[in-house]
Chains A and B, each alone.
Chain A
C-alpha cells in the first residue's frame, strides 16, 4: 500500500515542485507568446499592414482603415456619413484631419504627441528584438485581468513611453495593454483589450477585436506586406468626394 501511495504521490509532488521552481522570466513569456501567435520569425517579416475594420456607435457602423509602413508612417482614416477624416503619424511629424465637427483643414499634431505615437509605427511590436531596439522589459509577476490570470510585462520604450502588457496565462495571448502617455504634461492611461485572435495567410495570429473602452474595433481584414502608396502619408483635404473634385 505504502509503495502504491508513494508511486502516486511522488510524481505529483515532483511536478508541483518543478513548476514552482521554474519561475517565469520576461524572455520565457515573450518566447511563449510568439510561439502562440505565429512565431517571431513571421512577425519579423512584417513590413506593411493594412487593417480594414469598423466600430459601432449608436448602432451605426463606422468604417476604419489603418495603414502602417514599418517604422515610417501610419495613417488611420475613418468615414462617417460619407466624410473621411484621418490621422497621420510619420517618423517625423503628424497631422489630424477630423472634419466631422467642422475642422476645415489638416492640423499639425503637437510634437509631444507625435513622439508618443511614433512608438506605434513598429508593426512588429515592442517585444520583437526588444533589446536591439533599446526597449526595456520587466516581468512584474502574475496579475489578473477581470478574473483572467495573466503574466504582466512592463515595457519602457526608448521614447520613454511605458506600456504594461498582460498575457493570458493559459495561452500566452496578449489580452490587454495599458499605455501611459503624457498629454499637456499630464499622465494619462489608455487601456486596450485584444481578443478574437485569427491566423492570417502569413502565419501570424492577429487580434480581430481591439477594444479601447469606447467600443470594440472589429477587424475585417489584415493585409500584410502589400505595397503601400507613400502619398497616403501626406495630408490632403478630403472631406467629401465633391470637395476634392472641385
Chain B
C-alpha cells in the first residue's frame, strides 16, 4: 500500500514538474562562450593518429580538451568530442575502414593533475557520432590496438585507476569490433597494463607490459614486483613472462615497441632501480641492455612513448623530455635540433606518416609540432586552443585584461577585445615554469603577480615584463615552508591593496610584496606522515613539488570585511578569522557533518558579498579515489553546512562563484563540467553554452563592468560568456512566459569598438571580440515555428530597419547596427555599388523595437544615446555627420530615380526602333538613345567590369564620400562637405540635361511613335467577320 502511495506521489510530482518550465542552459540559448584559447602555447597532447590512406586526416587527443580532427594535415582543426570526456588516453583508427575510430578516455601520463576517463568510445562516421562501448571504470587508457588483419579484434591497455585499488585494469580484448570487451590479462588491484604491442605479421602474438603504481595526495609510487613484460602467442589466451636479459625486479613502467617492418626487432625502456633501454631481435625472448642518453630513460612514468619508423627498423624515435632519434636501431641517439625554433619539452605522442616517413607529428605538453625532416627540426601548430589553465583573473581596464597560468606553459595576459578579434599574438608571456595564479594589482594597472610551481612568486611590471621575486621566506626557527604545487596568490575583495599567499602559514602584504606579514599559525594538520616528499616517485626519484602536502590551497577575503579571511588547506582544514588573522577557527569538523569527508582538499571558498555570515566552498576528494562533487553553503560563518546535491553534477569540484548582482545565481566548475543555479542552489543545470559538456572548469570570474563570465578551463583555454545579465533577469516566473522582449539598457551609438573577426592569421587561433554593439535580446519559451523578425521604428514611426530574428529556445540575440535601411542606389551599371549596403547611423533618441512572431507583436522602447566615451566625436559632430550623410543618402535615391527614368526612355527606344517604319524616326530614335547613353554614362560606371578597372562616375563619387562619412565617428571634413555640394551640383546638371533632352526630344519622339502606332492600327485589316 505504501509503495502505491509513493508511486502515485511520484507520478504527481513528475506530472507537476513537467508542467513547469525548467531553467537550464537552453534558457540562455544564444549566450554562447567565446573560445579565447589561445593556440599560442596550446596544451598537453596525449595521442596523435593519422589516416594512412590519405596522410592528411589527423586525430589529436588531448589531456583536457577532447579530440580534435584535421582533414588538411593540420592547417585547421575542429573539436569532435565535445559531448564526452575531455581527458583522452589513446586513439586508434581502423586503417582498413578509417571512418571507424576508437577513443580511450582517460590520459595515462600519471602526473599529479592527470584527469580521469570514463571508458572507450567508437565512431563509424569519422567522429560525427560516438557510442561508448564499455570499460567505464578503467579511468585511464594507455593504448588501443586494432588487429591489422581482423578489424573486429581490438586490444586495450588499461593501467586503471591511479588513486585507488581497482579490478578495472589490465589487458582488454574485443572480438566484435569493440561492442563487448573481455579482460584477458589481469594481475591484481594495484597493477594495470601500461603498454601493448601486436605483431602485425602474426597478430596472435601480443605483448603487454604490466605496471604497479599508485598516487596518494602526498606521494607517488611507480614500481613493484608485479610489474613486468609478458607475451602471448594465442591472442591473449595464455601469457608468458619475458625475463631473459632484463634487469632485476622490481620494475616500474615499461614502454615497449616493435618495428612494424621487422616485428622481431623490439625496444623497451624498463623503469627499474637503474632504468635502461633494452633491445630484442627475437620477439622479446631475449633482451640486451643498451647505453642510453638521459633523455631516453628520464621520467619513465611520464614519458612512455617509443616509436620505430614504419619503414626503417633502424630508425628509432624517443619522444621524452626532449626529442631523440637513433639511426642504428637504438644503439645511439641524437637530440633534435632547435634550428627553426624551440620544441616544447615533455613529449607523449608521435605519428609518422607511413607514406612519407619524413613527415611526423609530435604531441607535447605545449601542443603539436610537425616535422618534414624525420624529426630533426620542428614547426609548431598554432591552431589548437587546448591550454590547461589553472586560474584566471581580470583587471578593470577597458577592454579588461585576462590573466592566467597553465600546466607547463607559464603565465600569460591578453586583452578581452582587440582590433580584428583577440588572436594568438595578443597573448603576452608573463612568467615561466608551470603557471597557476596570476593576480592583477587592481590598484596599479602596470603590476601583476604570478608564480611558478611550489610558491615561487614574482611581482611583474607589465610594460617591461621585468619581475621581482617576492615569495615569503621562512623566518628564524620556523619549519621549512610548505608550498602547494598550485600555491594561492589572492587579492583582497574588500581591500584591493591586500595580497595574500600561503604556505602552511598565511602571509599578507599591502605594499605589493615589499613587506609581508605572517598572519596565522600553521593552518594545516601538519601531519608529518604526509610530508615525506623527498622519497616520492617510487623506483625513479620524482620530487618536483607536485606532491607537497599539508599546505594552504585556497584563500578568500570577504568582500564585506577585510578582516574576515577564509583559508582552506589540501588536508581538509577550513579556517576563518574575523579579526584580520589574530585568531583563527577551524570549522573542518562542521562540514563533515554535512556529509563531506574529512581531509578533502578545500578547493575554493567564496564568502558572500550579500551576507557577511554566508560562505560557499567546494571540496574535492579525488586523490582518495572519491570522484563525487562536494559543494556546500554555510549561512552562519561555517558553524553548519548544507551540501548542495544535483543529479546533474559530475566531476570533483574546483570552484564556486557567486554572482555580483543576483545572490541566487551561482556558478560551479568541476573536473567534468560547468554548472549554474539561478535559485540559490535548489536546482542546478549543466551549462552547455558553447562549453563542452564535460569541460574541466578550474576557475570562474565575473568582470564587474562588462558582466562577462570568464572561465579558466584545464584543456580548452580561457572561455568568456559575454554579459550574463539575462541570467539575472530570467527567473522561474519569467521563464514561464511564451515570449519576452527584454528591456535594453540605453545603447551608445557607435560603429563598434574593435572591428569584426574573420579568419585567423594563417595557422593561428582567433578568439573573436565581444559584441561591438549591444544586441536586442528576447526570450522564447520554445523554439519558434513561425517567422520571426525585429523591426525598429524612430519616434515618428518611420521604419529604420527590419531584421530577421533567430528562433532558438531561450535567449535570442538580434544585432541591429544602429543604422537605417541603406539607400536605393542607381542600377544598370557594370559594377555593384557598395553604398547599397551602407546606411547612416541613426541619431540619439527613443526608438521602438517590435518583435514580430507569426501574427503576434511584442514592443519595447529603446533609448539610443550619444557615445560619450568617444571624446573625439561630440553630439554636434554627430549631427553634422548625420546631415551630410542624409544629404548624400537622398542624393543617391534621387540619382537612382533619374537613372531609372533614363533607362525607361531607352527602353522606349529599343522597344520601338525596329517597328517604326519611318527612316527619319529611326534615326532620331537612335540619336536620342545615344544622347541618353552619353548622359547615363556620366551618372554611373557603364564600361568596365573588371574589379581592377577603377571607373568612377557620379554614383561612384557619391558612394566614395558617402561611405567615408557614414563609416566613421567624426565630423565631416571641410572638403568632404564641399564635395557634397559639388556632387549635388553635378546631379542637378545631369537632371537638367535629362529634362531638357526628354522635353525637347523624348516627348516628341514618343508622340511620333504613338502617332505611327495609331496609323498602323487604323490601316490594319480588321480581324474576321
Cα distance A109–B336 in the bound complex, in angstroms: 46
Q: Which of B303-311, B441-449, B779-787 contacts A (4 or more CB under 8 A)?
A: B779-787
Cα distance A240–B825 in the bound complex, in angstroms: 14
Choice from B4, B25, B128, B910 contacting A245 with Cβ under 8 Å: B910
Q: Which of chain A's residues has its CB closest to B800's CB?
A: A59
8 Å CB interface, A19-67 against B = 56-60
Residue B830 at the A interface, CB < 8 A? Answer: yes
A218 / chain B contacts, CB cutoff of 8 Å? 787, 804
Nearest-neighbour CB distance to chain A for B703, whole angstroms, equals 26
Residue A162 at the B interface, CB < 8 A? Answer: yes
Choice from B782, B807, B822, B830 contacting A60 with Cβ under 8 Å: B822
Please count the residue pairs between chain A and chain B whose beta carbons lie under 8 angstroms apart in the complex: 139
Cα distance A139–B290 in the bound complex, in angstroms: 55
Nearest-neighbour CB distance to chain A for B579, whole angstroms, equals 49
Q: Which of B350-358, B460-468, B490-498, B943-951 contacts A (4 or more CB under 8 A)?
A: B943-951
Interface bits A206-224 vs B (CB < 8 Å: 1, else 0): 0011010001101000000
Choice from A58, A81, A101 contacting B947 with Cβ under 8 Å: A101
Residue B850 at the A interface, CB < 8 A? Answer: no
Cα distance A218–B825 in the bound complex, in angstroms: 23
Residue B372 at the A interface, CB < 8 A? Answer: no
Cα distance A239–B945 in the bound complex, in angstroms: 9
8 Å CB interface, A179-199 against B = 180, 184-187, 193, 195-197
With A58-B838, A148-B782, A185-B56 known as contacts, the answer to whether A9 contacts B11 (CB < 8 A) is: yes
Interface bits B805-842 vs A (CB < 8 Å: 1, else 0): 01111100000010111100101111111001111000
With A146-B26, A146-B809, A242-B828 known as contacts, the answer to whether A59 contacts B128 (CB < 8 A) is: no
Q: Which of chain A's residues has its CB closest to B784's CB?
A: A195
Cα distance A56–B837 in the bound complex, in angstroms: 10
Cα distance A238–B655 in the bound complex, in angstroms: 62
Choice from A56, A144, A187, A197 contacting B785 with Cβ under 8 Å: A197
Residue A82 at the B interface, CB < 8 A? Answer: yes
Residue A14 at the B interface, CB < 8 A? Answer: no
* CB atoms of B829 and A209 under 8 A apart: no
Residue B125 at the A interface, CB < 8 A? Answer: yes
With A59-B821, A102-B947, A147-B26 known as contacts, the answer to whether A240 contacts B827 (CB < 8 A) is: yes
Q: Which of chain B's residues has its CB closest to A85's CB?
A: B832
With A59-B803, A104-B945, A140-B129 known as contacts, the answer to whether A243 contacts B830 (CB < 8 A) is: yes
Residue B72 at the A interface, CB < 8 A? Answer: yes
* CB atoms of A59 and B839 under 8 A apart: yes
With A58-B839, A82-B829, A245-B910 known as contacts, the answer to whether A215 contacts B804 (CB < 8 A) is: yes
* CB atoms of A8 and B8 under 8 A apart: yes
A147 / chain B contacts, CB cutoff of 8 Å? 24-27, 29, 783, 808-810
Cα distance A146–B54 in the bound complex, in angstroms: 35
Nearest-neighbour CB distance to chain B for A176, whole angstroms, equals 10
Give the most central of B25, B71, B785: most A CB within 10 Å: B785
Choice from A81, A180, A243 contacting B128 with Cβ under 8 Å: A180
Residue A2 at the B interface, CB < 8 A? Answer: yes
Nearest-neighbour CB distance to chain B for A4, whole angstroms, equals 10
Residue B7 at the A interface, CB < 8 A? Answer: yes
Cα distance A240–B944 in the bound complex, in angstroms: 12
* CB atoms of A102 and B831 under 8 A apart: yes
Nearest-neighbour CB distance to chain A for B773, whole angstroms, equals 13
Residue A175 at the B interface, CB < 8 A? Answer: yes
Nearest-neighbour CB distance to chain B for A33, whole angstroms, equals 15
Residue B903 at the A interface, CB < 8 A? Answer: yes
Cα distance A187–B72 in the bound complex, in angstroms: 9
Residue A235 at the B interface, CB < 8 A? Answer: no
Nearest-neighbour CB distance to chain A for B841, whole angstroms, equals 12
Q: Which residues of A contact B (CB under 8 A)?
A: 2, 5-6, 8-9, 12, 56-60, 80-83, 99-102, 104, 140, 144-148, 154, 162, 164, 168, 171, 173, 175, 180, 184-187, 193, 195-197, 208-209, 211, 215-216, 218, 239-243, 245
9 A-B pairs, CB-CB below 8 angstroms? A58-B837, A59-B803, A146-B783, A146-B809, A186-B72, A195-B783, A195-B807, A242-B828, A245-B910
